[in-house]
Amino acid sequence: MQALTQIEQVRAAVKEWRQQGLTVGFVPTMGYLHQGHQSLIETAAKGNDKVVVSIFVNPMQFGPNEDFAQYPRDLQRDTQVCEQAGASLIFHPEPHELYPDGFCTHVDVAGLTEGLCGKTRPGHFRGVCTVVTKLLNIVQPDRAYFGQKDAQQFAVVRRMVRDLNMPVELIACPIIREPDGLAKSSRNTYLSTQERQAALVLYRALCEGRSQLQNGVRDANQLRAAMEQVIGAEPLAKLDYLELVDLQTLQPVTQLCGDTLVALAVYIGKTRLIDNFIYQGEQQ
């Protein structure tokens, strides 16, 4: 497995594969890889001849008061994870390689980025879309793999790829959870032992939503109230948002009939965690 830091080196490696007629899968990450990332890389390795993994903590997608400096990093361990999961190449550029002096072009996806995480993290999706566009332009993969935990990110990137006619197939992979239900996230490392226990409230709230749906509830306000009650019962949790939105447009729904994203963000102490499930609506 190669580990490269320069854009031109990556382009040259991919060009060589292309000349041999090989297909290329791409997994963009910010490193500190966990089993969620591992499963993305494994899925990419099954579906493509070669797999590129990018490891880049993208400063542009962090707000001024967010955790960019603190974000966990461990390139040595990440390299092992990538190798074991079947990656062919790691691209881990320095910020200056992707954002040279005078960099002034951004990619904005309107509408889909204003609600949910976009409300608390203004500018976040502009940073995500800009870096994903750059990475897709550099790697030019056949397929790119994203985790469903960042459901809004996937919806936004899917719209960007469609709107800008980017020649790549996007694949969303299921959320990977700890045995007790907590969704895997690099940010879980911020949690104290007590907070780690409290963080289970996200999964409990989602399970409550699912069980209400199983009991036939379709009213969004009723579902939200039942889920919010679960969050409210956990003293260490502070709700950022809990939304039921159309899976394509990310606009709030009042009744669950079509495919709906049930998504939430919760502060556990200072750590902001997100989780979700997709309700597959009855055919209309």
Interacting residues with ligand PAF (CB under 6 A): 28-30, 58, 61, 128, 131-132, 150, 153
Closest separation in Å from C-beta 28 to ligand PAF: 4
Handedness of CA 269, 61, 119, 226 (dihedral sign): negative
Tokens of 37: 């990332």
DSSP three-state, residue 21: coil
Q: Which is nearer to ligand PAF, 61 or 260 (CB)?
A: 61
Q: Which is nearer to ligand PAF, 48 or 61 (CB)?
A: 61
Got the DSSP string for 191-234?
Answer: --HHHHHHTHHHHHHHHHHHHHHHTT--BHHHHHHHHHHHHHT-
Q: Which of 37, 92, 96, 124 is catalytic?
A: 37
Pairing relation of β-strands 169-173 and 89-91? unpaired
Closest separation in Å from C-beta 131 to ligand PAF: 5
Radius of gyration of the chain (CA): 19
Distances (CA, A) of 156 to 118, 132, 139: 11, 11, 20
Q: Which is nearer to ligand PAF, 132 or 176 (CB)?
A: 132
Give CA angle at 56 (116, 22), nearest 5°. 105
Closest separation in Å from C-beta 150 to ligand PAF: 5
Q: Which is nearer to ligand PAF, 89 or 128 (CB)?
A: 128
Closest separation in Å from C-beta 156 to ligand PAF: 10
Q: Which is nearer to ligand PAF, 119 or 238 (CB)?
A: 119
Handedness of CA 99, 104, 107, 108 (dihedral sign): positive
CA dihedral 196, 202, 207, 213 (to 10 degrees): 180
Distance between CA 125 and CA 113 in Å, rounded? 6
229 — phi, psi (to 5°)? -65, -40
Q: Which is nearer to ligand PAF, 132 or 198 (CB)?
A: 132
Closest separation in Å from C-beta 73 to ligand PAF: 13
Q: Does residue 124 carry a catalytic annotation? A: no
Closest separation in Å from C-beta 184 to ligand PAF: 12
DSSP, res 181? S
Catalytic site positions: 37
